[in-house]
Structure 1
Amino acid sequence: MPRGGEATKTRILDAAEALIMGHGLAGTSIDMVLEKAAITKGAFFYHFKSKSELARALVERYADQEETLLEERLKRAERLSRDPLQQVLIFIGLFQEEADQLIEPGAGCLIASYIYQFEELDEKIREITAQAILRWRKRLGDKFEEVIANYPPRFPVNAKELADGFVSAFEGAFVMVRVLREPKQLSQQLLHYRNYIELLFSPTQ
């Protein structure tokens, strides 16, 4: 558990993330963060020299959390089955289980909330976000390579593109959730993607 200065820094990050998810990066001011985190301006600038530095720290933390989530879900799927196709389906199913519990239409992805401001952000933030997505492409792409080697697909496919398809379905579903205010969209879109994978790799009759 963080103590002292680290606890304050965590509180700032938590407050900023919550605000950005609701208002966007451009719509979130330092004053809003100060109020939500219940800290002084001096405490803020002790940890972060600018809003840009805060934005970078947030995306670094978020990317690390997402990488941990990816690895935990893949390892759990691999423990539950030795078959690569079943591992992929279980992996998707684990995200579906969590999506079924989503009741807040304001949920979303921090990285996605940065995208429309990339031109205003420093290159380091662009690099962090790109690397985060590329990690998912690499890990899921490797798993899909195993699937393709064991289950000839019914149509020509590329393992990396299948991995990108999962990320696209997941992130795109958050747009649907927020715009339509329908939390079940996330679970539904993951189900459609899972059905596609099952049909793609099912034996031809």
Structure 2
Amino acid sequence: MNKKPTTTRTKIMDAAQSIILDHGFGGTTVDAIIEQAGVSKGAFFHYFSSKAELGKMLVQRYADEDAEHLEQTLVKAEGLSDDPLQQMLIFVKLFEQEIKSLEEPFPGCLFASYLQQSELFDHNILDIIRESMLLWRTRVLDKLQKIEQKYPPRRDVDLESLADMLMVIFEGSFVLSQSLNENKIIAQQLLNYHRYLQLLFSKD
């Protein structure tokens, strides 16, 4: 079956996202976007009234894709085990394996790029990012609470902070990986989180 052809709108958004990840939103121009996308300026303004509107649509698309990826990975983990601890360990392991399988360095996080220049955006865009972060906290915290009921932790732990730790690992290791040009850092930090959960909740 042939893949669905890429639309002009998608080409523009993909080009813009790539440039923003490399140069930041402030360093991204409409001219650079249309050159990379291979479209005319008229085509750009047919789909987007301004760079600001494109920026909002980009972050909403990114948030929607991130939420879908989160839910799909949770569902896959839940389908592989009925035990809440094993589900969480599988969940983390799936992300670790996904990162390891990348042939190219991870491109970065659009949320981080936006937040580094938060003064350029209105509260609506920042709210999209905030809601995405809260979704991760809520979904991971729900798993950790179920784990705690079955496997009391060996040390006192703030489960909400432990849930946030996963997102901290993702975002922090992305920055470190890019700074040191070492793609393996992200997978290594996910492995550390996986092992920490085992040590904290295992009965043995």
Which TM-score tier does this pair reach, normalised by the shorter chain?
over 0.9
How far the C-alpha of 1:23 sits from its partner, in A, is 1.5
Please give the alpha-carbon distance, in whole angstroms, between the structure 1 residues aligned to 2:72 and 2:118: 29
Match of residue 25 from structure 1: 25
Contact 1:169 1:190 in 2 (8 A): yes
CA deviations on 1:30-62 (whole Å, 9 max, x unpaired) are: 110010011111111111111111110000000
Q: Structure 1 133/197 Cα, relative in aligned 2: closer, same or farther at 3 Å?
A: same
**Is the counterpart of residue 115 in structure 1 residue 131 in structure 2?**
no
Distance in 1 between residues matched to 2:94 and 2:4, nearest whole Å: 29
Distance of 2:106 and 2:29 partners within structure 1: 19
Counterpart contact for 1:142–1:159, Cα < 8 Å:
no
8 Å CA contact retained: 2:62, 2:110: yes
Identity of aligned residues (%): 47
CA–CA separation in structure 2 for the residues paired with 1:120 and 1:109: 17
2:173 is the counterpart of 1:181: no
- Counterparts of 1:29 and 1:122, CA distance in 2: 19
> Given residue 61 of structure 2, which amino acid in structure 1 is its aligned partner?
R
Question: TM-score, normalising length from structure 1?
Answer: 0.94
In 1: Cα distance, 2:99 partner to 2:185 partner: 9
Report the Cα offset of residue 2 of structure 1.
6.3
Alignment-mate amino acid for residue 65 of structure 1: E
Q: Describe how 1:41-56 pairs up with structure 2 within 5 A.
A: 41-56=41-56
Q: Distance in 1 between matches of 2:31 and 2:4?
A: 24
Structure 2 CA distance for aligned equivalents of residues 192 and 13 of structure 1: 35
Q: Tell me, yes or no, if structure 1 residue 192 matches structure 2 residue 198.
A: no
Following the alignment from structure 2 to structure 1, what is the Cα–Cα distance between the partners of residues 106 and 147? Answer: 35
Letter in 1 for 2:126: R
8 Å contact from structure 1 (residues 137, 164) kept in 2: yes
**For residue 128 of structure 1, what is the aligned residue in structure 2?**
128
**For residues 105-157 of structure 1, what are the alpha-carbon distances to aligned partners after superposition, in whole Å with 9 as ceiling and x for unaligned?**
36211111111111221111100000011011111111111011111011112
Tell me how far apart the structure 2 counterparts of residues 167 and 182 of structure 1 sit (CA, whole Å): 19
Query: Which residue of structure 2 lines up, in the alignment, with residue 201 of structure 1?
Result: 201
- Aligned residues of 2:26 and 2:120 also touching (Cα < 8 A): no
> 2:92–2:190: 8 Å Cα contact kept in structure 1?
yes
Alignment-derived partner of residue 88 in structure 2: 88
Map residues 155-170 of structure 1 onto 2, 5 A cutoff. Answer: 155-170=155-170
**Residue ranges of structure 1 left out of the alignment (5+ in a row):** none
RMSD, aligned α-carbons: 1.5
Structure 2, gaps ≥5 residues long: none
Q: Is the 8 A contact 1:155 1:200 kept in 2?
A: yes
Secondary structure of the residue that 1:155 maps to in structure 2?
Answer: coil
Letter in 2 for 1:166: L
The runs of at least 4 consecutive aligned structure 1 residues that moved more than 6 Å come to none
